[in-house]
Amino acid sequence: MNKYTLVKLVLLESLLFAIAGCGGGGASSLSNNSNQAPAVVSLLSFPLKEGLRVLTEFSATANFTISGSCYGSATKSSVDAVSSSFENTPSFAISSTETYNFTTCTPSTFSASGVSYFDTDFLPLGSIRDDGQYGVYLSAPVIPISVKVGDSGPISTEQLYTDSTKSVQDGRSELSYVVEADSADSAIVDFVNKVYATSNALLQTSHSRYKITASGAMSPVSHDIHQAPSFSLHLTPLSDTKAPSLLRTSPSGPYAGPAIPISAEFDETLDCSYVPAEVITIVASSGAPVLGRLSCRGRTVTFVPDVPLTNGERYAGNLLSNGIKDLSGNISASYSPLDFIWDSAAPTVTATSPANLKNDVPITSNISITFSEYIQIPSGVSGLSISSASGVVSGVETFDRSTNKLSFIPDAPLQPGTVYSVTLNGQVTDYLLNPIGPDYTWSFTTDPTFRDKIVTSIGAAPSSVAIGDVNGDGKADLLVATGGSANPANAYKLFVYLQNAGGGLNSPVKYATSASFNKVIQSIKIGDINNDGRNDVVTARNTSGMEVYLQNVAGTLDPAVLYSNNASTIDLADLNNDGLLDVVQYFGVNVMLQNLNGTLGLSTVYPHPQNNWGGSGGIGDLNADNMPDIAALVGSSNEFCVLPQSGAGAFSLSACYSTGVAFTALSDLSIGDVNGDSLADVAVVYGGNAPTSKLGIFYQNAGVLQPVINYNSLDIPTQVEIADMTGDGLMDVVVLHDGWDRIGIYRQLANGGGLQAEKLYMLPIYSANSQMTVDDLNGDGKADVVVVDINNGLTIYYHY
């Protein structure tokens, strides 16, 4: 026969099942020795399926002598099974190689190799040979769990193809088995394989005989190949005189647990019918022996305690393998000490982020869970799964060994105002494979208010901010005044960020100001104050004047005109019902009415009779007469005063209102309807650190402001604005907390129910000397929040 045919047909035999352990199992009744006693018919049952699994699962090498039509020697070897896939089915792959050396046939030497695939129950699925031949079993192989002498039956048929495309058939092989007598405690299993050509002509019959014991240990006895008309080979395993050697012990480290066996693994299959009790001995730290039993399978002996070991206990012991035998009766002589701490405790969850049931979670948040110890995630399993009513969230998992934190990073921002459920897979284990247990689940709800925050450095210390259209394109722009900077190009400037067509902001256009170290801009207002239909910009320097930037026909700002009025902050409003915007300056209440010709009239000063005015105020109808009034803080005190309009833009001092908290100055004031009755109310913030920090509301009733109602607030509330932050048509209160990295929102309850407790939102890092504005920046009809401060520059919270 030619080399190609011999390689293909001989290799087919070893790919059916991987090679058993080194050497043979001794003579059997099937030997050609005619003087040998007849075989004894055993009455035992033999675990064939388990025996074949052990036979195929572990690596081995066997050497044979060859007789028959050719003489020589052969070596067959296989490696440990590895996880793989075959025909889209999860499988184990076993690589096999065989080498033949003939002394009487040609070619004198050749080798062949291939890979056999088995399902998770170690039943064969198919094979791939080194010449490309591809085999697939047509049906699930039938291998009995146990057999007796005299049993026989088919196993399966493997369809062969010339390659993996399976376009051209290359014959088939039919595998069956017969159980024959051997001795009182063993039998011979003869695996019969018949190979047919595509024409159905029989090409080869082979017999692979294995000795099997009651424990399921299997060892090769002989291998015979017959080809028509008269070619045959008989392979006999060489005698094995090598004792089994210890490969490794478990546990290999200082810790062990229920999933880490106490075991010893050898380099070949053992005779599991005899395992001395003293092979593995364990004692507790107290010196008390640990009672248990030994189990043996394949190459491994395992100690199983009668009762569970104690968590945290230290144990010591010995592995003394005297008496351990391989299938040829060779006795091992190995010694290894054992010393370990028993850990049977599952990892515990110490923290989750977001916390369980947390509300107002930013949609850009990552999800994480922290454990009491290092964890492992089984291959092919997701540690965390996140879902909402709309589906599963995709993302990437990472694990930080230094913090024992498992994090999930969503591929896209989460949906606003949505409940999310997070599940930790219970298959997650610690280093010793102690599982977490049942799935761990928690939930959170995303913030319904802000879509995201954008942080931009502006290269200078900002001092004030405003939103409005300053180039006549109908889109809101962003204006920022700066203080000092190491870069003179950015110092004491008015930055104008024009909104582009995509809703984003262009790089700033910088305008010169007359501001300086002691005269920084503290207030910016936007409106038409020269009656030309274009918005202009008005700024107030720190108690030292006001600058006006008129918008020109080109949509840019003309150089500023300075007014020397004493102003710290300003407001623009139509005070005298002529359709023109007028100017109110605070730190002293000064009113400048706009003339019909578009100029500003002389300033009218409204002094406080006993005190100085503070640096903040607001405009609104506070006595229900349909005319705007002025409210202003009084010095560094706990009160503000109302200047009702007497008509034609003239004002007079009326009543003053106090929080009643002595030695606690008001920080800011804003006017708006915060209880839904269509009457303007006054909101003030005051106090330092909690519990003295408050939001105070003076609700209007029938044209009269009522005594203050206080709401708890985070430390150092410094600015207050009123705007609809939820899109429900009700005005809410927004508070800035200088130095505390937070803005807070008090949402208005329906039907005059007051305000909800403050909900806080993070600024990027520590913020100081901050200012904010609340308005629609991106033209979606929803109020956005912009904060500037000396540490972070510019922070924009876009509303959903």
**What residue spans define the domains of the chain?**
3-237, 246-342, 349-448, 452-462+563-799
Q: What is the pLDDT of residue 275?
A: 85
| CATH number assigned to the domain with residue range 246-342, chosen from the 4 options 2.60.40.10, 2.60.40.3710, 2.60.120.10, 2.70.70.10 | 2.60.40.3710
pLDDT confidence bin for 654, thresholds 50/70/90: confident
Instruction: Tell if the pTM clears 0.75, that is, is over it.
Output: no
Among 79-93, 408-422, 605-619, 707-721, where is mean pLDDT lowest? 605-619
Instruction: Encode pLDDT of 155-204 as tens digits.
Output: 999 999 999 999 999 999 999 999 999 999 999 999 999 999 999 999 99
Q: What is the pLDDT of residue 60?
A: 80
Does 36 or 301 have the greater pLDDT score? Answer: 301
Q: What is the pLDDT of residue 797?
A: 85
Q: What is the dihedral of CA 670, 675, 680, 686, to 10 degrees?
A: -30
Query: Once rounded to an integer, what is the mean pLDDT over residues 298-323?
Result: 90
Closest CA to 679 of 700, 698, 696: 700
Distance from C-alpha of 107 to C-alpha of 462, rounded to nearest angstrom: 89
Question: 363: alpha, beta or left, given left = phi > 0 and alpha = psi -120 to 50?
Answer: alpha
Does 14 or 288 have the greater pLDDT score? Answer: 288
Distance from C-alpha of 748 to C-alpha of 699, rounded to nearest angstrom: 13
Burial profile 470-497: b = 16 or more Cβ within 10 angstroms, e = fewer: bbeeebbbbbbbbbbbeeeebbbbbbbb
Q: What is the pLDDT of residue 61?
A: 83
Q: What is the pLDDT of residue 34?
A: 42
pLDDT confidence bin for 9, thresholds 50/70/90: very low
Q: What is the pLDDT of residue 180?
A: 96
Q: What is the pLDDT of residue 764?
A: 61
Q: What is the pLDDT of residue 451?
A: 67
Does 31 or 692 have the greater pLDDT score? Answer: 692
Instruction: Encode pLDDT of 26-68 as tens digits.
Output: 333 333 344 555 678 888 999 999 988 888 887 788 899 999 9
Same fold, 349-448 and 452-462+563-799: no
Tokens of 268: 């070949």
Q: Which residues pair with 396 in a beta bridge?
A: 409
Instruction: Encode pLDDT of 427-479 as tens digits.
Output: 999 988 899 989 999 999 998 777 667 888 889 989 999 999 999 999 999 99
Q: What is the pLDDT of residue 767?
A: 56
Q: What is the pLDDT of residue 447?
A: 82
Q: How far is CA 130 from its chain centroid?
A: 42
Tokens of 523: 């207030």
pLDDT confidence bin for 19, thresholds 50/70/90: very low
Q: What is the pLDDT of residue 726?
A: 86
Quick one: 641 exposed, middle or buried, by C-beta within 10 A (0-12, 13-18, 19+)?
A: buried
Architecture of domain 349-448: Sandwich (2.60)
Question: Is residue 265 scored above 60 in pLDDT?
Answer: yes
Euclidean distance between the first and the last CA atom of the chain, given in angstroms as a whole number: 80
Q: What is the pLDDT of residue 271?
A: 87
Query: Once rounded to an integer, what is the mean pLDDT over residues 395-410?
Result: 96
Distance from C-alpha of 449 to C-alpha of 799, rounded to nearest angstrom: 6
CATH code for the structural domain at 452-462+563-799: 2.130.10.130
pLDDT confidence bin for 208, thresholds 50/70/90: very high
Query: Once rounded to an integer, what is the mean pLDDT over residues 482-511?
Result: 93
Does 698 or 81 have the greater pLDDT score? Answer: 698
Q: What is the pLDDT of residue 430?
A: 92
Does 17 or 54 have the greater pLDDT score? Answer: 54
Query: Once rounded to an integer, what is the mean pLDDT over residues 744-755?
Result: 93
Instruction: Encode pLDDT of 108-154 as tens digits.
Output: 998 899 999 999 888 899 999 999 999 999 998 999 999 999 999 99
